[in-house]
Structure 1
Amino acid sequence: MAQARVPRQSRAKAPKRSARAPKYVYFFANGKAEGSSALRDLLGGKGCEIAEMINLGIPVPPGFTITTQAWAAYRTGGKKQPPGLWAQVLDGLARLEAAVGLKLGDPERPLLVSVRSGARASMPGMMDTVLNLGLNDKTVDGLARWTKNERFAWDCYRRFITIFGDVALGIDRRAFDRLLDETKSRTGARTDADVPAEALKGLVADAKRLVKDTTGQPFPQDPSEQLRLAINAVFDSWFAKKAVDYRRINRLSDDWGTAVTVMAMVFGNLGDTSGTGVCFTRDPSTGEKRFFGEFLVNAQGEDVVAGIRNPEPVSALERRMPKVYAQLITFKDRLEKHYRDMQDIEFTIQEG
């Protein structure tokens, strides 16, 4: 898809970065990354391996990683972002916008990002992630017009309000899930993917009402503020009870902290030619050299682990999307050869 210039938007200027401020943000885009797997302690497992994959020629959406050093300064500073961090985040965001030709908050062609945790050691499911950040009452309409897919846009918006409400605003996820279940029952939808666009609009209105009733404040509409709150929330997820208990049981240090990776979204929920999955380069139970995993069509990553739909074996992808499957085989072989060990891989397909 050709990239188009987007109009400038006003954004609050961050204070100038101190000359003494550490390098808190490491950028990656267009086949180049500032980090590598050697920087695991600084960039976390996710951040350093994203950089390593880019250096190997694996297609990864552009973005930037905020270091564990920033988390340490956040913790010692009373859970406030350290001086210089926000300026570096805005610099990284501007470079990300330039790399994809989109702009966060643009009402016509909005950039949406994910905000992901990543400690140096794997802590599966213990910390938080925010998807589809950048959506608001204006950008959702722009996304619908741009993609010519109204259902997709409103599905992303309801997902964002749910995750952001849970992770950043502290609202029990089950309250949002109940609203979704009520909508599915009312419309006769068998799965989330069957809920029609008009019903999703009503669901978004209900979710925003829940946020207002619970917090006393309307759902945040400024994408820059959404990003700031999401980064803080991912930092804070290191202190969540389940994460603390996991580290205690597995004898991991409480002082490591987490990095935060901000990436351009790739959408697995754009229709039947999109999807998401998890796979292993070998059978994880036996070690047999057999491509093993599962995927969902028209879904985002959280759907695979949530167990709300029955996934298909990754081998079925060869029939559905043969070219995509061939690429996945190439990339999984390249990764296993490089790391000399079995690899587990998360993947998303957008209009494959």
Structure 2
Amino acid sequence: MVDKKWVYLFNELEQAEAYVGGKWDSVRGLLGGKGANLAEMYRIGLPVPPFFTVTTEACNAYTAGGFQFPAGMWDQELAALKKVEEASGKKFGDPSNPLLVSCRSGAKESMPGMMDTVLNIGLNDETVKGIAKLTGNERFAYDSYRRLVMMFGSVVLGIADEAFEHPFDSYKEKKGYKADTDLTADDLKQLVETFKQVVKKEKGFDFPQEPVEQLKLATQAVFGSWMGKRAIDYRRAESIPDTLGTAVNIVTMVFGNMGWDSGTGVAFTRNPATGENKMYGDYLLNAQGEDVVAGIRNTDPIEKMGEKLPEAYQQFMEITAKLEKHYKNMQDVEFTIERGRLWMLQTRNGKRTAAAAIKIAVDMANEGLISKEEALMRVTPKQVDAMLHPQFSEDGKKVAKKEGRFYATGVNASPGAAVGQVYFDADKAEQMAKEEKQAVIMVRPFTKPDDVHGMLAAKGILTSEGGATSHAAVVARQFG
């Protein structure tokens, strides 16, 4: 009897297609949207780091089996890891040339920020020294390590974000630093030790030093996040069935935080708020992807990348044009530039407002990318309803400015007007909307995926930090 195949490598897309009978929708069902699209990008010759995908079937078997890996899955994951080592020329856990990986969720239907991701898996007290020596960049190595301890502690071990954020912010304040990038290598070494102490205090055991254990625990955490509250809330709002499960993608790390010739970003091939046929996105130099999508750092518009990293920007524009033509839809992409070299980490059909959906459908039909019939089917009844939502008139805004009632401006993640009582907490916003039938505006420094129930209940959302491509903005646009 042939063992059940739970894991597919980056170059095994044809095997996945054969297993499901050739339909692309079924491939997405097996590998998740992220895994399927990463494999497709690799197949059409785009720069994608070596990776493998653990299937949605494995997730469902894990849940059904009392949160235990199905027979053979973990052995297949370790075998796939060996193939990724060969493709990358690095070895997992080897201090002299360490392979680091990310562990990312990826369901068939896109659920931005609703499930878990862990970056820099494979770092420990020894491999961090190897990374520092190999790159000649001690600051980068310890910045990556403090991120792992912080993210692993929060996502995998279930420690509250605040347990890490408070000592982090206090340390920066004590040193007089404004930005994360002001931290030196010595500062970051100190923060790694502080964060390890947080893990010990909160959990009663040390941060795991064995890379294979880190990988196993992260895989379990991503599978487990499929049944997390925020993921379930999101699925209920979008009518996504619980039976789909999530895939797990183990991807070779590429680093946007290696210096000022490195960076990371998120972009849409057309404006997701208006539908304008112009690249729309955010990026950060010397950062990792979570800094952009989590909305925890203020970003720069994508076009500025052309001034700082012109060659990578030119290649990025060519690749995204190719992706839009390939998928015949507006794409939402994530990318990283490591020492001037561009890597594509994700592509998917982008979430958009109702107004943008109509404009993009009409424009793509006029451009000959899709038929008029297809354009018509791309606009849903829900989007037509959203077009009837209130808007501020230009005349009204002018009068408000003249009369001194125009208080502030910001980046509009989605067009539209909202009126309501302000609440600063997602639980309270949901409670007042449901129990008191109040119109609610939720105000936060930045929203986290755990705030999705408050976002769903609110008429409007206002944040003081983050960009227009953060997960919060993506979700807000989607829900009108």
Q: TM-score, normalised by structure 1?
A: 0.92
Q: Does 1:53 align with 2:41?
A: yes
Deviation by residue 1:301-343 (Cα, 9 ceiling, x = unmatched):
1111233322111111111111101100110110011111111
1:128 counterpart residue number? 116
Structure 2 CA distance for aligned equivalents of residues 350 and 173 of structure 1: 28
Matched ranges for 1:210-221 at <5 A: 210-221=198-209
2:408 counterpart residue number? none
Q: Does 1:28 align with 2:10?
A: yes
Cα displacement (A) at 1:177:
1.0
Deviation by residue 1:126-159 (Cα, 9 ceiling, x = unmatched):
0000000000010111111111100100000000
**Amino acid corresponding to residue 317 of structure 1 in structure 2:** M
Q: 1:204 aligns with which of 188, 192, 200?
A: 192
**Amino acid corresponding to residue 295 of structure 1 in structure 2:** Y
Secondary structure (helix, strand or coil) at the match of 1:293 reads strand
Structure 1 CA distance for aligned equivalents of residues 138 and 111 of structure 2: 36
Structure 2 CA distance for aligned equivalents of residues 33 and 320 of structure 1: 39
Cα displacement (A) at 1:165:
0.6
Q: Does 1:195 align with 2:195?
A: no
1:5 counterpart residue number? none
2:286 counterpart residue number? 298
Is this contact kept in 2: 1:273–1:350, CA < 8 A? yes
How many matched pairs? 333
Q: Does 1:256 align with 2:244?
A: yes
Q: 2:138 aligns with which of 144, 150, 164?
A: 150
Is this contact kept in 2: 1:35–1:52, CA < 8 A? no
Matched ranges for 1:276-295 at <5 A: 276-295=264-283
Structure 2 CA distance for aligned equivalents of residues 222 and 63 of structure 1: 20
Runs of 5+ unmatched residues, structure 2: 18-23, 341-480
CA distance 1:191–1:157, change in 2 (3 Å): same
Structure 2 CA distance for aligned equivalents of residues 341 and 306 of structure 1: 25
Is this contact kept in 2: 1:115–1:263, CA < 8 A? yes
2:418 counterpart residue number? none
Structure 1 CA distance for aligned equivalents of residues 200 and 147 of structure 2: 17
Secondary structure (helix, strand or coil) at the match of 1:277 reads strand
Q: Does 1:269 align with 2:251?
A: no
Structure 1 CA distance for aligned equivalents of residues 49 and 254 of structure 2: 7
**Amino acid corresponding to residue 230 of structure 1 in structure 2:** A
Cα displacement (A) at 1:22:
1.1
Runs of 5+ unmatched residues, structure 1: 1-18
Secondary structure (helix, strand or coil) at the match of 2:68 reads coil
Secondary structure (helix, strand or coil) at the match of 1:294 reads strand
**Amino acid corresponding to residue 36 of structure 2 in structure 1:** C
Is this contact kept in 1: 2:92–2:99, CA < 8 A? yes
Is this contact kept in 1: 2:121–2:215, CA < 8 A? yes
Secondary structure (helix, strand or coil) at the match of 1:86 reads helix
Secondary structure (helix, strand or coil) at the match of 2:312 reads helix
Structure 1 CA distance for aligned equivalents of residues 118 and 209 of structure 2: 15
Is this contact kept in 1: 2:266–2:293, CA < 8 A? no
